[in-house]
Amino acid sequence: MKILVCISSVPDTTSKINFTADKSAFDKNGIQWVINPLDEFALTKAVKLQETQGATATVINVGDAGTEAVIRKALAIGANDAVRVNTDPKDSFSVAKEIANFAQNGGYDLVLCGKESIDYNGGAVPGMVAQLLNQPFVNACVGLDVNGSEATAVREIEGGKETISVKLPAVIAGQKGMVDEKDLIIPNMRGIMSARTKPLQVQEPTSTEVRVEGVSYDSVPARAAVKMVAADQLDELVRLLHEEAKVI
């Protein structure tokens, strides 16, 4: 079985987010980059399938040279090899198109990824990849078993879970629960050393088409000061909620 795992390089959740002076772009200075956590669930699942079914796992990232440290971590976790499409991702479509173009002739049985990245939270790439490849797609997957040419996926729906059977090849977008959090792999020294020698292919993008362009960015407004109202001032509380907070 051949598995392609899509990973995104995202800011660590403790990073302070800033934008450039003209608010036209995200300011990358001082940012610590990590594997998108939802992609890490998918990567761990691919490594588990290596162990149980002899699968091979290739990692793909669409990004510039600055993402290579994150790619090497994915190799240290257990991926066999990696490819980086050498471009600064502009929108979901351009990313999906590069992934699909690479996967098209790779003979992959499964394309695994997180359901969204934690930076822009677009959630569009997995479905676009499936559409471009004309393959079945399961989103929000919290469980996955593969038996020959068929996969059984469990996904979250409103009020419960749904079990779906799909024929391979297919695209599966996972989330927390695809594997147990305790099973997430922390690279050891052996994995880190072996990652240095694993193949990392760099290829140029096949297209420059961009369909969505960010115009400007704004930070979340600072939290307003808190007004304290005494327990016996019910009339004042109602007035503030009505006139200032405008919630009643």
For the domain that residue 117 is a member of, what is the CATH number?
3.40.50.620
pLDDT mean over 155-181: 94
- Asked if the structure places residue 161 within a domain, the reply is yes
- Asked if the structure places residue 185 within a domain, the reply is yes
More confident residue, 29 or 87: 87
Tens of pLDDT along 183-212? Answer: 999 999 999 999 999 999 999 999 888 898
Tell me the pTM. Answer: 0.87
78-82, 201-205, 223-227: least confidently modelled range: 223-227
* Res. 101: pLDDT tops 90: yes
pLDDT at residue number 222 = 80
In the 8-state DSSP scheme, what is residue 19?
B
- Asked if the structure places residue 128 within a domain, the reply is yes
Tens of pLDDT along 56-69? Answer: 999 999 999 999 99
Containing 146, the helix (H) or strand (E) segment is: strand 137-147
pLDDT at residue number 229 = 87
How far is the C-alpha of 242 from the C-alpha of 220, rounded, in Å? 24
More confident residue, 229 or 86: 86
Tens of pLDDT along 127-163? Answer: 999 999 999 999 999 999 999 999 999 999 989 999 9
pLDDT at residue number 15 = 87
pLDDT at residue number 13 = 87
- Asked if the structure places residue 235 within a domain, the reply is no
Pairing type for strands 110-114 and 150-157 reads unpaired
Task: Identify the sign of the CA torsion 22, 123, 179, 102.
Answer: negative
Residue with tokens 């173009």: 101
- How large is the greatest C-alpha to C-alpha distance in the chain, in angstroms? 72
pLDDT mean over 78-85: 97
- Asked if the structure places residue 241 within a domain, the reply is no
**Cβ neighbourhood burial of 14 (10 Å; 0-12, 13-18, 19+):** exposed
Strand, helix or coil for residue 164: strand
Q: Which two tokens stand for residue 12?
A: 């660590």
Tens of pLDDT along 34-56? Answer: 999 999 999 999 999 999 999 99
Owning domain of residue 84 = 2-221
- Asked if the structure places residue 231 within a domain, the reply is no
Q: How many domains does the chain have?
A: 1
- Asked if the structure places residue 84 within a domain, the reply is yes
Residue with tokens 């610590």: 32
